[in-house]
Amino acid sequence: MTAPLSTAHDPLARLPEGFRGLIADWSSDQRAFKVSWGKAMMWIFLLSDTFVFSCFLTGYMTVRMSTTVPWPNPSEVFALSFGGQPVPLILIAIMTFVLITSSGTMAMAVNFAYRRQRRECAMLMLVTALFGAMFVGMQAFEWTKLIVDEGVRPWGNPMGAAQFGSTFFMITGFHGLHVTCGVIYLLVVALRVLGGHYERSGNYQIVEIAGLYWHFVDLVWVFIFALFYLW
């Protein structure tokens, strides 16, 4: 005797009713805390990430204030020479400008998404991803300069306190990983928007959720810029 057609073609039909109801709630994007599950989960993820970055930055400040060895001067370490004259923090200023600008393009993408203008939304998301890729590229250049030219290592630093290298690579590397994941995330969502995937459902909230992640990454960089490069 064969199983009923609905059971044979629907593996969820064999699960207990409670499990089926739970899966249905999550897959249909039910609302929790007066917002959708997707947005609620992104806020929870960002809250947990806030704790991680807070621990990193608190550890950095503790190490810097407690070390007895002189801490390298960021204006000298992160300077680039033009015409034989060092320009302090010029690369870091460009990186900050690029990332803050990307927040503006992401905000416009969310606006176009809710206006159902998917082409404009997708293009702005691609521009945002391009800005993020530029940021990661400049960060790779910064790391290369410190490692190859300055001899900075996670376990040592010829310019002063040895903890400088470990805290720098840990904090900026972790943030750079977030930016890289964000670029991939934006590219995937932008291509799906451009292909009309969300047009059929009429739900563009995924663009806003991606925007929450991107704005968080930008905000974290502001704290890193203030505490690591300007202090």
Q: What are the pLDDT digits (tens) for 128-181?
A: 999 999 999 999 999 999 999 888 888 888 888 889 999 999 999 999 999 999
Are 22 and 126 within one domain? Answer: no
Question: How many structural domains comprise the chain?
Answer: 2
- In this prediction, residue 82 has a pLDDT band, given cuts at 50, 70 and 90, of confident
CATH number at residue 209: 1.20.120.80
What is the chain's mean pLDDT, rounded?
Answer: 87
Q: Clarify whether residues 55 and 134 are in a common domain.
A: yes
Stated pTM of the model: 0.84
- Nearest Cα neighbor of 60 from 175, 141, 158 is 175
Claim to verify: residue 4 and residue 98 sit in the same structural domain: no
pLDDT for 154 equals 85
Query: Across residues 112-139, what is the average pLDDT?
Result: 96
Same domain, 184 and 88: yes
Same domain for 43 and 28: no
Asked if pLDDT for residue 5 goes beyond 90, the answer is no
Q: Say if residue 10 is in the same domain as residue 57.
A: no
**105 vs 39, more confident:** 105
User: Is there a single domain that holds both residue 98 and residue 171?
Assistant: yes
For residues 12 and 46, membership in a common domain is answered with no
39 and 18 within one domain: no
Range of the domain at 54: 33-229
**Residue 67 pLDDT greater than 60, yes or no:** yes
Q: Do both 27 and 69 map to the same domain?
A: no
Q: Are residues 1 and 58 in the same domain?
A: no
Across 40-49, 71-80, 138-147, least confident range: 71-80
Q: Judging by beta carbons within 10 Å of its beta carbon (0-12, 13-18, 19+), is residue 220 exposed, middle or buried?
A: buried
